[in-house]
Structure 1
């Protein structure tokens, strides 16, 4: 559930009359929120100070912050804090940075959706309740939503809860309209795919409107939605996702959709690996925000994106060398791209396809430490050169990551994506060294 504080009229008016007037006039989505998923690879505040101005320049006017365990909880909730959780002063600094860049902050607080909702109705108390007519899982779900939203509205009257619409989609219209939920929350219709069911989305919007929801939101994705261990962001996928959301917005009554949330998931859940790091997803975010502003991705829009990012071309090749781009974190993108595209493949080429390794130092030979001395000269220099090259790049990447992320993030990303390949090279060289040593005669003199 997201908690959206209502803006004072004067604050909203400042968006409409800012010097970047195109940001509010040409887009069907008046609010464009960039989602920061902090349950994985949370950036340091110094990095946020660099990218918030970029968010604003690209067309965002809000950030949806999923604090998770990075929030400095106190009291009995203190145990939820991550090791490197933001301090209270850092939270204030983040909010201050958002204000300076005219970005409205909406906190995303996991309540119902991520608390075992798939098992709704399986508890003993719930089962007993469901056995009574006319109770149903839909009614159970709505009653809980109503209780949570009512509590929030009672405690914070100027706050409007937003709610991801997963659990609302299959609830019949009459049940929705018969509850108080439409008067308490604003649904967020999310779809991160490249091929949206446009007609189905229009029907869903119509259903929600008839059920009594006054305002709706859309949720797209600029990263973190195409693979649980994805390391590079497929810009084309996310471009298509946003172009189709624009089609949805054009097919429903004007002003039905209050805004759009550009999600940037960092993990699929708390137990999964990291997907694309935030700096890696910045070019995709730039494309998506500019498309939402201008309505298409014509050549002039593409040129604007390239100008914002300080790159010569959005093609993938432009990210393969160090220093490609001038946006904050562009060096991380360049280094991650090299690792993702070439590290494993170069090690595989040596260990699995090199004729000297596969022919004269196979797993059979390596286990028995057997090798012809001449073959060491063919294998060892290649392995040493490859290890030196990738070790140097890994050190460079580690330093770049440390400037943006906390130590646990740096350790996790390198352990998942770099160290396994380096260890394979080190193991090969160790086996070569052992095979090259003179063998001691284990026999005894007669």
Structure 2
């Protein structure tokens, strides 16, 4: 079967932190995922899971209800998408450790990112999180326990004391916690295999990894989102993991959310190159130990960062990447298939798509976000910073003193009114489109970050102009 060199499973990563889609939107795109070649979902719930009891503070205001989770799982099954939940259990714990109730479990007291691995209560906490998530997911084969980017590990007070003892290292500390979490999962759910991100393991020696006993417990997911991914180094890394006794491995690429923390549009070419490199890695390996690939689609870089490309914006990139894997490469035929399935007249992979009029679910959002990303700020800059009547006769000096030459009004007031009217209209149209797909917090955040600053600049000039017109002439 074409593309099978990347393993049996092709997972679409749904990063729900920050902009969880409404279930009604997932019902529209799951069939598309399946048609494009996906057969699984890696669902990273973070604060959108309906945690109960002592974990209830972890729930965001827009968290899914238990019945919505069941509906998502039903829709996934309907469209032959196997679900693998992802719960962070070590690093990227901001959504837990920011809360006062759990702040005492931080590795470094002032930073909410990493869990203190010395506390028994830490394992109780992540065990409870895993149990609540697993309880809503029947028939799981895998459970992703995260464990990437455990920044500042070893820098907490308890770790510093522990590391002073002979033979103790930060690597051993990391492995001990991973083993404890994986061991808990396996003891309560023996049929479920834990997956971990591999970055904390990469730099460890073969001897350290082999002696730790981690290999039989987890399946590492090797992630690399670069367009120029180094094929030979990744092949060597796979070989190393296999020599250390890991029987099964995963790869992780990216279809969005990996090229800029506040990126609003997806550069398809970057992600296409990333997948072509992963195909080369797979071709250099025996396929028997590779479970599959997760196509990550990050929604935030971490819990506290801004939103990057929204899911509907990344759909054309996802389509290109899935079809490239499905066909073992990119071709004119792949391009035509994607155009047909998404209703796009001309797919552009080497530049941002200048105009998008697709028919796929959420294509109106892509079209409006593209319009705003390309034209909003430049059009406002053109008026406020390059129109000589604004810069020369209605500068900040004039605005502060409510001074305006009546003649200069004719040269920019109509244009400013027209521009404000146009972009307010686009904003309202986008808000309506976003509200069909996302909950209010995500809609408000995206508009506040990407639209409001420039609309506000325009509005303030108009307000100052009204004030100057009404001011008594001196």
The answer, yes or no, to whether TM exceeds 0.5 is yes
Give me the TM-score of the superposition, normalised by structure 2: 0.86
Tell me which of 362, 370, 374 is aligned to 1:329: 362
Match of 1:370 among 403, 420, 439: 403
Check conservation: 2:7, 2:287, Cα contact below 8 A: no
Whole-Å separation in 1 of the counterparts to 2:170 and 2:48: 33
Q: Which of the two has higher C-alpha Rg?
A: 1
3-state SS of 1:184 partner? coil
Q: CA RMSD in A?
A: 1.5
Q: Give the deviation of 1:295 after TM superposition.
A: 1.3
- By how many angstroms is 1:388 displaced? 0.5
Residue 292 of structure 1 aligns with which residue? 325
Q: Given that residues 266 and 352 in structure 2 are in contact (C-alpha distance below 8 angstroms), is that contact kept between their aligned partners in structure 1?
A: no
Structure 2: stretches of 5+ with no match in the other structure? 94-113, 115-149
Distance in structure 1 (CA, Å) of the matches to 2:394 and 2:180: 67
- How far, CA to CA, are the matches of 1:318 and 1:358 in structure 2? 32
Residue 12 of structure 2: aligned partner = 34
CA contact 2:255–2:314 (8 Å) conserved in 1: yes
Q: Does 1:426 align with 2:459?
A: yes
C-alpha distance in 2 between matches for 1:392 and 1:311:
24
| Residue in structure 1 matching 2:258, options 219, 225, 239 | 225
Structure 1 residue 114: Cα displacement? 2.0
**Matching residue of 1:156:** 189
Distance 1:414-1:254 versus aligned 2 partners, 3 A rule:
same
Q: 1:60 aligns with which of 14, 38, 49?
A: 38
Show the counterpart of 2:437. 404
8 Å Cα contact 1:319/1:334 also seen in 2: no
1:319-358 map, 5 Å: 324-358=357-391
Q: Which residue of 2 aligns with 1:173?
A: 206
The reply on whether 1:385 has 2:418 as its aligned counterpart is: yes
Distance 1:132 1:319 in 2: 57
Question: CA contact under 8 A between 2:323 and 2:338: conserved in structure 1?
Answer: yes
Structure 1 residues 430, 199: closer, same or farther in 2, change over 3 A? same
2:214 is the alignment partner of 1:214: no
Map 1:311-326 onto structure 2 (within 5 A).
311-315=344-348, 324-326=357-359
TM-score (norm 1): 0.91
Partner residue of 1:234?
A: 267
Matches within 5 A, 1:194-213: 194-213=227-246
Which of residues 113, 117, 126 is equivalent to 2:159?
A: 126
**Contact kept? 1:312, 1:318, Cα under 8 Å:** no
Cross-structure match for 2:90: 112
Residue segments in structure 1 that go unaligned for 5+ positions in a row: 1-21, 442-446
User: Distance between the aligned counterparts of 1:197 and 1:139, measured in 2?
Assistant: 28
CA distance in structure 1 between the partners assigned to 2:386 and 2:465 by the alignment? 17
Q: Deviations over 1:205-249 (max 9, x none)?
A: 111000000011000000000000000000000000000000011
Q: How big is each residue's C-alpha offset from its partner over 1:269-290, in whole Å with a ceiling of 9 and x where there is no partner?
A: 1111000000000000000000
Structure 2 Cα separation of the partners of residues 347 and 27 of structure 1: 50
Check the 8 A contact 2:222/2:250 in 1, yes or no.
Answer: yes
